[in-house]
Amino acid sequence: MKFGTKAIHAGQHPDPTTGAVMTPIYQTSTYWQKSPGDHKGFEYSRGTNPTRKALEDCLAALENARFGLAFSSGMAAIDAVLKLLLPGDEVITGNDLYGGSYRIFTKIFANYGIKFHFIDLSDPLVIREYLNARTKLIWIETPTNPTMKIIDIKAVSVIAREAGVLLAVDNTFASPYLQNPMDLGADIVMHSATKYLGGHSDVVMGALMLNDEELYKRLWFIYNSCGATPGPQDSFLVLRGIKTLHLRMKAHCENGRLVAEYLRAHPLVDKVYWPGFEDHPNHAVAVKQMRDFGGMISFSLIDADLERTFKLASSFKVFSLAESLGGVESLINHPASMTHASIPLELRLAAGVTDNLLRLSVGIEDIDDLLEDLQQAIGG
């Protein structure tokens, strides 16, 4: 099936009891068994639930994977992957990373003897300098949050495979519509399903997709044992959101391109970070591994201090000042004080997350209204 058809049908079948076309919300915690261990595939909803199972099968299909696991948040999904590791293991990851990922790496798992190397992954060959017998995981996101660095997934996967190291890719910014890391050699694909997959800013959820059955069993054991699994209502909402993912992403991309071009031409705007520009670092890699360039854009203001940046961020009428991204509505975010506040100042600055940097999640509103809102807010 093509992507749009998978988004609507994958993992979903008419309800066997009623024939309902939409997957029902199975609001139940436990299931009848004919005799001990003799059941219909469901025992207790922490482990699996029919609504969640339909979602997981759909998620797997979207990433061209065999297995999917849905979690109660994106951070819960990351937490499960890191629980594959043991004290003394090492992880190689990027220096331009979502603040929540940095926080769980350094404030939680570093306490258990796991070492993290935060490096610039723009040139994958740099990874070889940090590989050793203790390296067990390479964790990347591309495009990165918030400076939209592009990491060559295929090149990293070759290095990971040669070293016998797992490669996990946070694909949240791109969505499965724009990019499929499994096809490029990733072992695990992670999503904050809160974002583009759900698409309507009404649910918090995470997901992992993978192909290796033994790895799936290990992650399912963690998933079931630790219990960070979502309820059926949230699973239903994400399953419903996915049905329009391909349509929404087309609109996000179209609006994103026009907003990026507008910002780049604005006299008061300094830098614009959007992988669709030909001079964006690793643009050629983006062209190779992405189908379009998305609706995530960051930009900085010329000679703006923190006060002026805050004032501008608060002056929009269509864009909402809020954390998160990927919903149908447009959002503006100040990474340094919001999504990346947990990262120390010197590391933020080294990664380009300056006080005058703003991040946009361009929604699917009428483009004329979005451009007019940018004009009235930025001035000039």
Q: Please tell me which residue in 79, 96, 152, 170 is annotated as part of the active site.
A: 170
C-alpha of 340 from chain center: 15
Please provide the distance, in angstroms rounded to a whole number, between the alpha carbons at the two ends of the chain. Answer: 48
98 is an active site residue: yes
The size of the chain, in residues, is 380
170 is an active site residue: yes
Whether 58 and 6 have beta carbons less than 8 Å apart is answered as yes
Whether 165 and 131 have beta carbons less than 8 Å apart is answered as yes
Q: Please tell me which residue in 98, 177, 216, 262 is annotated as part of the active site.
A: 98
177 is an active site residue: no
Q: Please tell me which residue in 6, 53, 149, 195 is annotated as part of the active site.
A: 195
> What's residue 356's pLDDT?
94
Q: Please give the structure tokens belonging to residue 259.
A: 């907003």
> What's residue 350's pLDDT?
81
Beta carbons within 10 angstroms of residue 368's beta carbon = 9
Alpha-carbon distance of 263 to 90, in angstroms, equals: 40
Q: Is the dihedral of CA 318, 320, 326, 327 positive or negative?
A: negative
Whether 356 and 337 have beta carbons less than 8 Å apart is answered as no
Phi, psi angle pair for 255, to nearest 5°: -65, -40
Beta carbons within 10 angstroms of residue 120's beta carbon = 13
Q: Which of 73, 70, 119 is nearest to 97 (CA)?
A: 119
pTM to 2 decimal places: 0.96
User: What Cα–Cα distance (Å) separates residue 191 from each residue in 90, 143, 352?
Assistant: 22, 13, 24
Q: Please tell me which residue in 15, 31, 46, 130 is annotated as part of the active site.
A: 46
Radius of gyration of the chain (CA): 21
> What's residue 111's pLDDT?
98
Alpha-carbon distance of 171 to 78, in angstroms, equals: 12
120 is an active site residue: no
Residue in the block written with tokens 């983006």: 286
Report residues of the chain scoring pLDDT below 50. Answer: none
Beta carbons within 10 angstroms of residue 281's beta carbon = 15
Alpha-carbon distance of 92 to 373, in angstroms, equals: 40
Region for 180 from its dihedrals, namely left if φ exceeds 0, alpha if ψ lies in -120 to 50, beta otherwise = beta
Alpha-carbon distance of 129 to 36, in angstroms, equals: 54
The alpha helices in 149-282, defined as continuous H runs, are 153-163, 175-178, 213-226, 232-242, 245-265
